[in-house]
Structure 1
């Protein structure tokens, strides 16, 4: 008999993903997005990895997660550390993964009640 909830109460859950979209709480998203452990899922306004700027990570810092899971698209690509300096200075951890691994890892951490945020790049 299972006594653990499948979904965290009041939190966001990623239900499905592919290379062009991610489903959060049953809603399909076809643009890059920020998925906080609780609260509103936000458009990240990013269409290409090469367009990442410091401002993209400043926006994440403002949401105050303890850990960021960066889904860099269909393959792993690492952002230059100077781009996410705001996270480093705020002592917010960041892990980079492909989008599938990022979605799975986010769900595990969110189900544990962690203050995690998935920053998911969906490229055109």
Structure 2
């Protein structure tokens, strides 16, 4: 039996490790934003402690249409941001799920493969 994604045009995280993520075979060593169909861009936040509301407000510029869900990869371990930082997304009725970056990578692939409007903001710690 041959397995393939339901939506082959969706971007895919093909590998990840400490300090890097590979998207469609291209390795990235900095934090990034990836949309299911909108592409990959650097994310201007390198450390969890530096996150501000503006970092989340800027995420919408990376998608042609608002996502249903934003996955926040919080780095090597699960950490939750203060809810006030997410008000810009939540006020637009965009769901936000927080998990460690490895789990966010796996979840992104599943949701993007299903054709969901998902956006992942992934902190890549050196």
User: If the TM-score is normalised by the length of the shorter chain, which range does it land in?
Assistant: over 0.9
2: CA distance, partners of 1:27 / 1:7 = 22
TM-score, normalised on structure 1? 0.93
1:30 correspondence with 2:29: yes
Contact 1:34 1:120 in 2 (8 A): yes
> Which residues of 2 match residues 33-72 of structure 1 at below 5 A?
33-62=32-61, 63=63, 64-72=66-74
Match of 1:78 in 2: 80
Query: CA deviation digits over 1:35-87, x for unaligned, max 9?
Result: 10112201001111010011110011343111011110000000111111111
Q: Secondary structure at the match of 1:41?
A: strand
Contact 2:14 2:25 in 1 (8 A): yes
Match of 1:12 in 2: 11
Unaligned runs of 5+ in 2: none
The number of aligned residues is 123
Match of 1:122 in 2: 124
Contact 1:7 1:13 in 2 (8 A): no
